[in-house]
C-alpha cells in the first residue's frame, strides 16, 4: 500500500446539459495521508463540493465521472460496483453535509438513525448498538445521551443536530470523513464548538478529514494542508500556514486580501478581485483566472498552465506565480 | 455616549418588540396560554448623519427585528423612534409614507428581494415613481440610468431581468433601488453574507463609496465581525434582545469588556491566528421565558451569584456602555 490514504489523480466530473457540457471538476489531483486534515477551498462554482461527491461516487445523471482515479487504501473506488460502494460509504468514508436539518430523517428518532448506521456496518447486537449510540452521543458532547436517544431531530438546536450528524458519521469508525461546509449554517460561537469537536475527534479516532468550505479563515485555523479550487481545477496546494502567509497563485492572494481582518491596520477600501467567476459553459481559453488576473500575460490567455512544484511541498498552476510567494498584504496585518 | 447634543439622524430609545406565538387548536382547547417571544427588550442607540452603526449578534438575538421596527415595518410595542427630528413611533402608514422615501433597505438575499418578473429598469424606477421623487417617466429614466452607472452597470443592461445576473450583481441592483428615492438612511440587513468573498469586497467597497458620495447613514446588521469592523464606526452587540455592549469600533475590538463580546470575538475564525480559544459552551436560551437575571448568565464563563438574581443595566465603562455586573458599581 502507498504512503497515502487517498490519492486522487486527474479526476474529471462532467455534467452533460442541454446548453453544453460543464466540466465541474476538470483534472483534479491531490493526496491525503492518514490523520491529515485537508481543506478544499474556493468560491461557489469552484467544483469543491462536486469533488467531494465524486470521491464517493455520488454523481447522478446528467453528471458522470469522465476520467481519473480515486485510490483509497490502494484500491480505485471508481472501478467499484454500486454494491461495493455502498459498503464503503459510511463505513470507510463518511460524509457530513452543510444543513443538519436535511441530512437527518425528521420522522425517526436519532437513536434509530445512529442504530441503523451501526446495524449496517458493525456486527454489534441490538443491546450493544444502544450502548454504542449513547457513547457516541456523549463523545460529541450531547448532554443526557440516554434520554436524548428517543428524541427527534426537531427537538435539537442547529448546533446539537450537527453534533448528531457527526456522531452518525463517526459511528462505524471511518478512515476518512468528508465534511461539506459543516458549519456554514451555524452561528459563530456554535461553529467554534463544532470545529473544535471535529478536530478533537479526528485526532482521537485517527481519521483523515477533507474539509470543504468557502471560508479561508476556517481553513487556516483547522487544516494541515489546503487545495484552492477555481473553475473546476486546483490552482494551488500546500501546507496551510505557508500558503496563507505566502500565496503563489494570484487568485489565492486576491482571496486572502479581500477578507476583512479582525485586528491590525484597517484600510478604507478592501482590495478586491475585479470581475466575477466566468460561466462554466463559457470558460475563457487558457487560464480560467486570466480575465480577472493582474499578472496575466498573452501566454495566460492562450495556454492553460499546468500544476508544478515551486517550493518544497508547494504546487501551483500558474504561468506567473506571485514572486517568491510574497506576503498577502495590502491591509490588515 | 448617546448624543442628543450631537447631530443624530436616528434616535432609538428603549425599543421593545415582541410577538405572540400562534396557538394550535389543541393548545386553545386545552386553554394553554399564548406564548410571547420577547425579541427586542429595551434597545437604545443613535446614528449620526453620515455614520455607520452596526448591530451584531447571532441568529435570534433580535438585530433584524430591531431594524425592521426602526423603519416601522413592524409596530413597536414600546419605546421611541425619532428620525430626522420627527417622532415617528406612532405614525400611521400614510404619515410614514413621506418618511419612507428617506429610509430604505438592502436585504440579505439578492435572489428573493428582486421581483423576477420585472426588468432591472422597472425595479429601480418603481420607488421613484411611487414616491414621486421625479417629475415624470423621463426624469425617472435618466435617474435610473445614472444609478445603474453608479453601481457599475452599462445602460443596455437595464432591459434585463434579475435571473440574468449573478448574486453580487443583483445585490448591486438592490443597492441602486435603495438609492432611487435619494434616502439619507439605509438599513442594510446582512447585505454581503450570501456573497462569495471576492464579491463581498466589491459590494462593501461600493456601499462605503456611496456613503461618502451621498452622505448616507447606515444601520448595518451583520453576524460577521470582521466585516463589521471594516465598515462601522460604532456598534452594539446584541444577545437575546438586549444590547450588552455598545461603543466605538476601536474600543470594542481593541478591548472587549462584556464576556459575550469577548467570546464572540474569540470564536470568529481569522487568518491571523493559529488556534481559536476554548469555545463558549451551550446555546442561546429561549426568548419565550427570559432569564430573570443577566441574559448571558447561563453561558457566561465569569458568572457570579448576582448575575442570576438581577439584570445588569447598560452603564458607561471605559468609554463605552456595558451591561455586566463585573463592571457595575453598586
DSSP string across B109-143: -TTTSS-TTS-HHHHHHHHHHHHT-SSSHHHHHHH
| pLDDT tens digit sequence for B197-245 | 888 898 999 999 999 999 999 999 998 899 999 999 999 999 999 999 9
Q: DSSP for A172-227, please give it.
A: T--SEEEEESTTTTS-HHHHHHHHHHHHHHHHHHT-EEEEEES-HHHHHHH-SEEE
Q: B15 - beta bridge partners?
A: B43
Does the structure show a pLDDT above 50 at A331? Answer: no
Q: Do B58 and A189 touch (CB under 8 A)?
A: yes
Roughly what angle, to the nearest 10 degrees, separates helices B167-179 and B197-214?
10
Which of B196, B204, B227 is the closest to A214 by Cβ?
B196
Strands of chain A, DSSP E: 6-17, 20-32, 37-41, 63-72, 75-76, 93-96, 176-180, 208-213, 225-230, 233-239, 308-311, 314-316
pLDDT of residue B276: 58
Q: Do A196 and B197 touch (CB under 8 A)?
A: no
C-alpha closest to that of B230 among B197, B267, B257, B182:
B197
pLDDT band at A143 (very low <50, low <70, confident <90, very high): confident
pLDDT of residue A327: 53
pLDDT of residue B262: 93
Q: How far is A138 from chain B (nearest CA, A)?
A: 15
Roughly what angle, to the nearest 10 degrees, separates helices A126-139 and A158-170?
130
| pLDDT tens digit sequence for B252-304 | 999 999 999 999 998 888 887 666 567 788 777 888 888 899 999 999 999 99
Q: Do A276 and B275 touch (CB under 8 A)?
A: no
Mean pLDDT across the stretch A40-44? 90
Which of B196, B201, B269 is the closest to A271 by Cβ?
B201
pTM of the model: 0.88
Does the structure show a pLDDT above 80 at A297? Answer: yes
pLDDT of residue B10: 96
Helix (H, G, I), strand (E, B) or coil at B308: helix
Report B:63-122 residues touching A (Cβ under 8 A): none
Q: How far is B196 from chain A (nearest CA, A)?
A: 6
Q: Do B197 and A187 touch (CB under 8 A)?
A: no
Neighbouring CB atoms inside 10 A of B3's CB total: 10
Homologous superfamily in CATH for domain B4-50+57-91+234-322: P-loop containing nucleotide triphosphate hydrolases (3.40.50.300)
C-alpha closest to that of B118 among B106, B109, B127:
B127
Does the structure show a pLDDT above 60 at B307? Answer: yes
Per cent of chain A over pLDDT 90 is: 65
Q: B156 - beta bridge partners?
A: none
Q: How far is B98 from chain A (nearest CA, A)?
A: 33
Which of B226, B269, B283 is the closest to A159 by Cβ?
B283
B259 and chain A in contact, CB less than 8 A: no
Mean pLDDT across the stretch B164-183? 91
B278 and chain A in contact, CB less than 8 A: yes
Whether ipTM > 0.90 holds is no
pLDDT of residue B275: 60
Q: A238 - beta bridge partners?
A: A226
What is the total residue count of chain A?
333
Instruction: Specify whether the CB–CB gap between B123 and B164 falls below 8 A.
Output: no
Mean pLDDT across the stretch A154-173? 89
Q: How far is A242 from chain B (nearest CA, A)?
A: 12
Q: CA-CA-CA-CA torsion for A271, A273, A276, A282, nearest 10 degrees?
A: 180
Distance between CA atoms of residues B134 and B101, nearest Å: 12
Neighbouring CB atoms inside 10 A of B164's CB total: 12
Distance between CA atoms of residues B269 and A190, nearest Å: 12
| pLDDT tens digit sequence for A117-138 | 999 999 999 999 999 999 999 8
Which of A218, A270, A273 is the closest to B204 by Cβ?
A270
**What CA–CA distances, in Å, run from B181 to A65, A86, B148?**
51, 58, 14
Distance between CA atoms of residues B90 and B71, nearest Å: 12
B140 and chain A in contact, CB less than 8 A: no
Domain residue ranges of chain B, discontinuous segments joined by +: 4-50+57-91+234-322
| pLDDT tens digit sequence for B82-137 | 999 999 999 999 999 999 999 999 998 888 899 999 999 999 999 999 999 989 89
Q: Do B272 and A189 touch (CB under 8 A)?
A: no
Distance between CA atoms of residues B69 and B89, nearest Å: 9
CA angle at B224 for the pair B221 and B229, rounded to the nearest 5°? 85
Q: How far is B109 from chain A (nearest CA, A)?
A: 15
pLDDT of residue A211: 96
Least confident range from A253-257, A298-302, B28-32, B148-152: namely B28-32
B213 and chain A in contact, CB less than 8 A: no
Instruction: Specify whether the CB–CB gap between B52 and B218 falls below 8 A.
Output: yes
pLDDT of residue B76: 95
Q: Which residues of A touch B (CB under 8 A)?
A: 43-44, 157, 159-160, 187-193, 195-196, 214-218, 220-221, 241, 244, 254-256, 258-264, 266, 268-273, 276-277, 333
What is chain B's mean pLDDT, rounded? 90
Per cent of chain B over pLDDT 90 is: 70
B157 and chain A in contact, CB less than 8 A: no
Q: Which residue of A has its CA nearest to B268?
A: A188
* Close Cβ partners of A57 (under 8 Å, ≥ 6 residues apart): A65, A77, A78, A80, A82, A85
Q: Which of B153, B196, B252 to mutate to test the interface with A (most CBs of A within 10 A)?
A: B196
pLDDT of residue A333: 33
Least confident range from A54-58, A82-86, A329-333: namely A329-333
B74 or A206, which is more confident? B74
pLDDT band at A1 (very low <50, low <70, confident <90, very high): low
Instruction: Specify whether the CB–CB gap between A248 and A326 falls below 8 A.
Output: no
Distance between CA atoms of residues B235 and B249, nearest Å: 6
Which of B264, B270, B280 is the closest to A217 by Cβ?
B270
Q: How far is A269 from chain B (nearest CA, A)?
A: 6
Distance between CA atoms of residues A300 and B325, nearest Å: 61
Positive/negative CA dihedral, A120, A123, A127, A130 = negative
Mean pLDDT across the stretch A206-233? 93
B265 and chain A in contact, CB less than 8 A: yes
Q: Do A272 and B267 touch (CB under 8 A)?
A: no
Distance between CA atoms of residues B236 and B245, nearest Å: 6
B37 or A326, which is more confident? B37
C-alpha closest to that of B312 among B296, B291, B290, B293:
B293
Distance between CA atoms of residues B65 and B37, nearest Å: 12
B217 and chain A in contact, CB less than 8 A: no
In the numeric block, which cell numbers belong to residue A216?
479561508
Does the structure show a pLDDT above 90 at A201? Answer: no
Q: Provide, as residue numbers in chain B, all residues whose Cβ is less than 8 Å from the Cβ of A191.
A: 267, 269
Q: Provide, as residue numbers in chain A, all residues whose Cβ is less than 8 Å from the Cβ of B266.
A: 192
Amino acid at each position: 500500500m502507498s504512503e497515502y490514504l487517498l490519492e486522487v489523480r486527474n479526476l474529471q466530473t462532467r455534467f452533460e446539459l442541454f446548453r453544453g457540457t460543464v466540466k465541474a471538476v476538470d483534472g483534479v489531483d491531490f493526496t491525503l495521508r492518514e490523520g491529515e486534515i485537508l481543506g478544499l477551498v474556493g468560491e461557489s462554482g469552484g467544483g469543491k463540493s462536486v469533488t467531494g461527491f465524486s470521491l464517493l461516487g455520488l454523481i447522478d445523471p446528467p453528471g458522470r465521472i469522465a476520467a481519473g482515479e480515486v485510490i483509497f487504501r490502494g484500491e480505485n473506488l471508481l472501478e467499484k460496483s454500486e454494491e461495493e460502494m455502498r459498503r464503503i460509504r459510511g463505513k470507510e468514508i463518511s460524509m457530513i453535509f452543510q444543513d443538519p436539518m436535511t441530512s437527518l430523517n425528521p420522522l425517526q428518532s436519532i437513536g434509530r438513525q445512529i442504530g441503523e448506521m451501526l446495524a449496517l456496518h458493525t456486527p454489534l447486537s441490538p443491546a450493544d448498538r444502544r450502548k454504542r449510540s449513547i457513547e457516541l452521543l456523549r463523545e460529541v458532547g450531547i448532554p443526557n445521551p440516554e434520554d436524548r436517544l428517543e428524541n427527534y431531530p426537531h427537538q435539537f438546536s442547529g448546533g446539537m443536530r450537527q453534533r448528531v450528524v457527526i456522531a452518525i458519521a463517526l459511528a462505524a469508525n471511518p478512515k476518512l470523513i468528508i465534511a461539506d461546509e459543516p458549519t456554514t449554517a451555524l452561528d459563530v460561537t456554535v461553529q467554534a464548538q463544532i470545529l473544535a469537536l471535529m478536530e478533537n475527534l479526528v485526532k482521537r479516532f485517527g481519521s483523515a478529514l477533507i474539509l470543504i468550505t468557502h471560508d479561508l479563515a476556517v481553513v487556516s485555523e483547522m487544516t494541515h494542508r489546503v487545495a484552492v479550487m477555481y473553475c473546476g481545477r486546483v490552482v494551488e496546494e500546500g501546507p496551510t500556514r505557508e500558503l496563507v502567509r505566502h500565496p503563489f497563485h494570484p487568485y489565492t492572494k486576491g482571496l486572502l486580501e479581500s477578507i476583512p481582518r479582525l485586528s491590525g491596520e484597517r484600510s478604507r477600501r478592501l482590495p478586491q478581485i475585479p470581475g466575477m467567476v466566468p460561466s462554466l459553459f463559457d470558460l475563457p481559453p487558457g487560464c480560467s483566472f486570466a480575465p480577472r488576473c493582474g499578472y496575466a500575460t498573452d501566454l495566460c490567455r492562450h495556454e492553460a498552465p499546468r500544476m508544478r512544484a515551486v517550493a518544497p511541498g508547494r504546487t501551483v498552476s500558474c504561468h506567473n506565480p506571485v514572486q517568491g510567494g510574497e506576503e498577502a498584504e495590502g491591509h490588515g496585518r | 455616549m448617546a448624543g442628543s447634543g450631537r447631530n443624530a439622524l436616528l434616535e432609538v430609545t428603549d425599543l421593545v418588540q415582541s410577538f405572540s406565538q400562534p396557538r394550535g387548536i389543541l393548545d386553545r382547547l386545552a386553554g394553554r396560554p399564548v406564548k410571547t417571544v420577547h425579541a427586542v427588550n429595551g434597545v437604545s442607540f443613535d446614528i449620526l448623519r453620515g455614520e455607520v452603526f452596526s448591530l451584531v449578534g447571532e441568529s435570534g438575538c433580535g438585530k433584524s427585528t430591531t431594524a425592521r421596527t426602526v423603519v416601522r415595518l413592524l409596530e413597536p410595542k414600546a419605546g421611541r423612534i425619532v428620525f430626522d427630528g420627527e417622532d415617528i413611533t406612532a405614525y400611521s402608514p400614510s404619515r410614514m409614507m413621506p418618511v419612507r422615501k428617506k429610509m430604505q433597505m438592502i436585504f440579505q438575499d439578492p435572489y428573493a428581494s428582486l421581483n423576477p418578473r420585472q426588468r432591472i429598469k422597472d425595479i429601480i424606477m418603481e420607488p421613484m415613481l411611487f414616491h414621486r421623487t421625479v417629475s415624470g417617466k423621463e426624469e425617472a429614466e435618466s435617474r435610473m440610468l445614472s444609478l445603474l452607472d453608479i453601481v457599475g452597470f452599462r445602460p443596455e443592461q437595464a432591459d434585463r431581468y434579475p435571473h440574468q445576473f449573478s448574486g453580487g450583481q443583483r445585490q448591486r441592483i438592490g443597492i441602486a433601488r435603495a438609492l432611487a428615492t435619494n434616502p439619507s438612511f439605509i438599513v442594510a440587513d446582512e447585505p454581503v453574507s450570501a456573497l462569495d468573498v471576492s464579491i463581498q469586497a466589491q459590494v462593501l467597497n461600493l456601499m462605503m463609496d456611496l456613503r461618502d458620495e451621498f452622505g448616507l447613514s447606515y444601520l448595518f446588521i451583520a453576524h460577521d465581525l470582521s466585516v463589521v469592523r471594516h465598515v462601522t464606526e460604532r456598534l452594539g452587540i446584541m444577545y437575546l434582545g438586549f444590547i450588552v455592549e455598545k461603543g466605538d469600533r476601536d474600543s470594542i475590538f481593541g478591548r472587549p469588556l462584556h464576556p459575550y463580546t469577548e467570546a464572540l470575538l474569540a470564536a470568529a475564525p481569522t487568518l491571523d491566528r493559529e488556534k481559536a480559544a476554548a469555545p463558549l459552551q451551550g446555546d442561546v436560551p429561549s426568548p419565550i421565558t427570559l432569564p430573570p437575571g443577566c441574559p448571558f448568565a447561563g453561558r457566561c464563563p465569569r458568572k457570579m451569584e448576582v448575575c442570576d438574581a438581577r439584570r445588569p443595566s447598560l452603564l458607561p465603562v471605559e468609554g463605552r456602555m456595558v451591561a455586566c455586573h463585573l463592571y457595575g458599581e453598586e
